[in-house]
Chain A
Amino acid sequence: MRASLRFRAGILSVALLAAFLLVWQVSVGGTARTEAMDPEYAALMGASATTGKSAMPGPLDVAANIWRHLKDPFYDRGPNDKGLGIQLAYSIGRVALGYGLAVIVAIPVGFLIGMSPLMSRALDPYIQILKPVSPLAWMPLALYTIRDSGLSAIFVIFICSLWPMLINTAFGVAGTRREWLNVARTLEVGPIRRAFTVILPAAAPTILTGMRISIGIAWLVIVAAEMLVGGTGIGYFVWNEWNNLSITNVITSILVIGLVGMILDQVLARAQRLVTFPE
């Protein structure tokens, strides 16, 4: 009897990982040739130039580093040396704030656009122009007007989360089946009750799709935004560790960023399943 597809996929995944780790380990193992150089210059250049050892860590170094971070994720030894947990908390906090603000704005405005053809046509050109703008292009404007780098990062998250939610909400609301609206009309349901009992449940799966796209984008953008803004956050941590030439920490951060992004996506995927109705 053949093992279940799930089991075989698991085996293959583990095998691929093992192969990748092996190749990685082998390729960073050797040492390059060293050059005779001025001792003072050598001291400036660091280990990669003097001993021939690459700054690229092996998988074991990264594993040890991850373990170190896991053991003590929340330490704080000054502005440039904070635990990975603290950095992540800053990033997640910024995303939560910016994203939350975007939800508060996008869903009501999306409702308005979806329900009113007039508003839909009137606002369409602005949405079409602003939507493709890279969120980071807003950064200088935000820094100048808000005059606070932390708030600017939140604003950038807000602006990048806004569009998918806005467009999906409008689309979902406008796509509410005519027959469901007719049911509400024949039952003399008022506009507010209709919005909450017919349109919102009908549009909820589409709205949640928009929210899921938005959270993905927000998590992509926060890393870049924090690299620009600096100070705290996982994006800043990555850039700081690049300046420290700690590739180990950079790789660790990449893994952690991916993991958190996956969790955020899964949370919304679950929420989406809750509001999806079978036809």
Chain B
Amino acid sequence: MSTLLPFRRRPQRAAPDAAAGGARMSDKFISIEGIARRYPAPGGRTSTVFENLWLPVRRGEFVCMIGHSGCGKTTVLNILAGLEAPSEGVVIVDGQAIEGTSLDRAVIFQGHALLPWRTVLGNVAYAVSSRWRGARRAEVEERARRAIATVGLAGSEHKRPSELSGGMKQRVGIARALAIEPKILLMDEPFSALDALTRGTLQDEVRRICIETGQTVFMITHDVDEAIYLADRIVLMTNGPEAKVAEIVENPLPKARARAALHHAPGYYALRNHLMDFLVTRSKTLRDAMPAGYDPRHPPVVRPAPGTSDAEAIVAGTEASAMRA
């Protein structure tokens, strides 16, 4: 591949909103179809992390998966990335069953996973030169620099990872993933090791970049607020072992959402309470007994209705803006 396409942003931002009304089958950009993961356990038995897991993801959609530790979230992500193979089932991406890893699916690792002997530029350029083999050095560097600038690290190109703060390291990880222009971005609790302030800033950045590029994102998180802020849909996993997709929650908040006004948006409290309830109690009770009529192939899609707390929050929000005016 000697000629390079210009560095461009994929203009796909309209797609998710158009499809938001109903999950049509043709919208499945990623389709997880009946995957299982089993490990051999002592005594000749097998322990099942999850089985018969089905999950569709639309193009341009931001999906967060929430669940307690041990429910197999990371395993799902690793299977999506191709780092692990499912014991059963397939994952279909863009009409093709995945087999192993691919440059179309970039991973942002929890522990940033930068190569410590390379500089910031070296780390990103390594990914770029893996994507466009045989590209000229100057072109590789140019692309890498642009990706670094996108995450706001221009000027730190020649620093080594050991000279960077945790947040900056994770920015480099994001730049490395973006630089290869993947079709899908996979994030495994990318901000869990960061302090709250840095986490907030990076969430803003990731949200901006994903909206600008229309990126399809699958992200794992522990953080309910992170999921509410970032996700279009939130996948709830019951506790493991033998975890299941309990339900898929549609985020009722508008796509254009600002962090500061988030808690005044209609539906915010209903959504947050729903998620908290799930994590605190239902993730356990649902594991023990799924409701009648639960179909693992079509997990229930839920859209929490605004409650009284939401009404109060909206009133408080309007009062606050009235006072400011």
Q: Are A187 and B127 in contact (CB under 8 A)?
A: yes
Question: Among the listed stretches B62-70, B100-108, B276-284, which one makes contact with chain A, having 4 or more residues with CB under 8 Å of it?
Answer: B100-108
Q: Are B101 and A188 in contact (CB under 8 A)?
A: yes
User: Which listed residue, B101, B160, B162, touches A185 by the CB 8 Å rule?
Assistant: B101
B101 nearest CB across to chain A (Å)? 5
Q: Are B130 and A188 in contact (CB under 8 A)?
A: yes
A277 nearest CB across to chain B (Å)? 4
Question: Among the listed stretches A175-183, A215-223, A265-273, which one makes contact with chain B, having 4 or more residues with CB under 8 Å of it?
Answer: A175-183
* Closest A residue, CB atoms, query B131: A187
1/0 contact string of B90-113 vs chain A (CB within 8 Å): 000000000011110111010101
* Closest A residue, CB atoms, query B186: A186
> Given the known A-B contacts A197-B126, A279-B162, are A186 and B81 also in contact in the complex, defined by CB atoms under 8 Å?
yes
Q: Are A179 and B111 in contact (CB under 8 A)?
A: yes
B143 nearest CB across to chain A (Å)? 14
Question: Which residues in window 113-172 of B have CB below 8 A to A?
Answer: 113, 115-117, 126-127, 130-131, 160, 162
Residues of A within 8 A of B107 (CB): 182, 186
Complex formed: what's the CA distance from A179 to B78 in Å?
12
Residues of A within 8 A of B115 (CB): 180, 183, 198, 201-202
A226 nearest CB across to chain B (Å)? 40
A275 nearest CB across to chain B (Å)? 8
Q: Judge whether A101 is part of the interface by a CB distance below 8 angstroms.
A: no
Residues of A within 8 A of B180 (CB): 187
Q: Are A277 and B109 in contact (CB under 8 A)?
A: no
Q: Judge whether B83 is part of the interface by a CB distance below 8 angstroms.
A: yes
Q: Are A183 and B101 in contact (CB under 8 A)?
A: no
Complex formed: what's the CA distance from A80 to B103 in Å?
68
User: Which listed residue, A185, A188, A278, touches B116 by the CB 8 Å rule?
Assistant: A278
Complex formed: what's the CA distance from A103 to B103 in Å?
36
A272 nearest CB across to chain B (Å)? 13
* Closest A residue, CB atoms, query B163: A278
Interface centre among B100, B113, B117 (most CB of A within 10 A): B117
B104 nearest CB across to chain A (Å)? 10
Complex formed: what's the CA distance from A27 to B163 in Å?
58
Q: Judge whether A189 is part of the interface by a CB distance below 8 angstroms.
A: yes
* Closest A residue, CB atoms, query B177: A186
> Given the known A-B contacts A187-B127, A187-B131, A188-B103, are A182 and B113 also in contact in the complex, defined by CB atoms under 8 Å?
yes
B135 nearest CB across to chain A (Å)? 14
Q: Are A183 and B131 in contact (CB under 8 A)?
A: no
Q: Are A279 and B103 in contact (CB under 8 A)?
A: no
B173 nearest CB across to chain A (Å)? 9
Q: Are B116 and A183 in contact (CB under 8 A)?
A: no
A198 nearest CB across to chain B (Å)? 7
Residues of B within 8 A of A183 (CB): 109, 113, 115
* Closest B residue, CB atoms, query A278: B162
Residues of A within 8 A of B113 (CB): 177, 179-180, 182-183
Complex formed: what's the CA distance from A278 to B106 in Å?
26
B128 nearest CB across to chain A (Å)? 10
Residues of B within 8 A of A187 (CB): 101, 103, 126-127, 130-131, 180
Complex formed: what's the CA distance from A179 to B100 in Å?
16
Q: Are B109 and A279 in contact (CB under 8 A)?
A: no
1/0 contact string of A155-190 vs chain B (CB within 8 Å): 000000000000000000000010110110111110
Complex formed: what's the CA distance from A279 to B109 in Å?
17
> Given the known A-B contacts A179-B111, A182-B83, A278-B162, are A201 and B101 also in contact in the complex, defined by CB atoms under 8 Å?
no
Complex formed: what's the CA distance from A172 to B127 in Å?
24
Question: Which residues in window 203-249 of B have CB below 8 A to A?
Answer: none
Q: Are A277 and B160 in contact (CB under 8 A)?
A: yes
User: Which listed residue, B105, B116, B117, B162, touches A186 by the CB 8 Å rule?
Assistant: B105
Complex formed: what's the CA distance from A188 to B81 in Å?
11
Q: Are A186 and B101 in contact (CB under 8 A)?
A: yes
Residues of B within 8 A of A277 (CB): 116-117, 160, 162
B306 nearest CB across to chain A (Å)? 40
Q: Are A185 and B83 in contact (CB under 8 A)?
A: yes
Q: Are A188 and B102 in contact (CB under 8 A)?
A: yes
A205 nearest CB across to chain B (Å)? 10
Q: Are B83 and A186 in contact (CB under 8 A)?
A: yes
Complex formed: what's the CA distance from A277 to B107 in Å?
24
Residues of A within 8 A of B111 (CB): 179
Complex formed: what's the CA distance from A159 to B188 in Å?
47
* Closest A residue, CB atoms, query B162: A278
Residues of B within 8 A of A202 (CB): 115, 117
Complex formed: what's the CA distance from A179 to B208 in Å?
27
Complex formed: what's the CA distance from A278 to B117 in Å?
8
Complex formed: what's the CA distance from A202 to B113 in Å?
13
Residues of B within 8 A of A186 (CB): 81-83, 101-103, 105-107
B71 nearest CB across to chain A (Å)? 21
Residues of B within 8 A of A279 (CB): 116, 162
Residues of A within 8 A of B126 (CB): 187, 197
Residues of A within 8 A of B131 (CB): 187
1/0 contact string of A238-279 vs chain B (CB within 8 Å): 000000000000000000000000000000000000010111
Interface centre among B81, B100, B113, B127 (most CB of A within 10 A): B113
Report A's interface with B, CB cutoff 8 A. Answer: 177, 179-180, 182-183, 185-189, 197-198, 201-202, 275, 277-279
Can you list 11 A-B pairs, Cβ within 8 angstroms, ordered by A? A180-B113, A182-B109, A185-B83, A186-B101, A186-B102, A186-B105, A187-B130, A187-B180, A188-B101, A188-B103, A279-B116
Report B's interface with A, CB cutoff 8 A. Answer: 81-83, 100-103, 105-107, 109, 111, 113, 115-117, 126-127, 130-131, 160, 162, 180
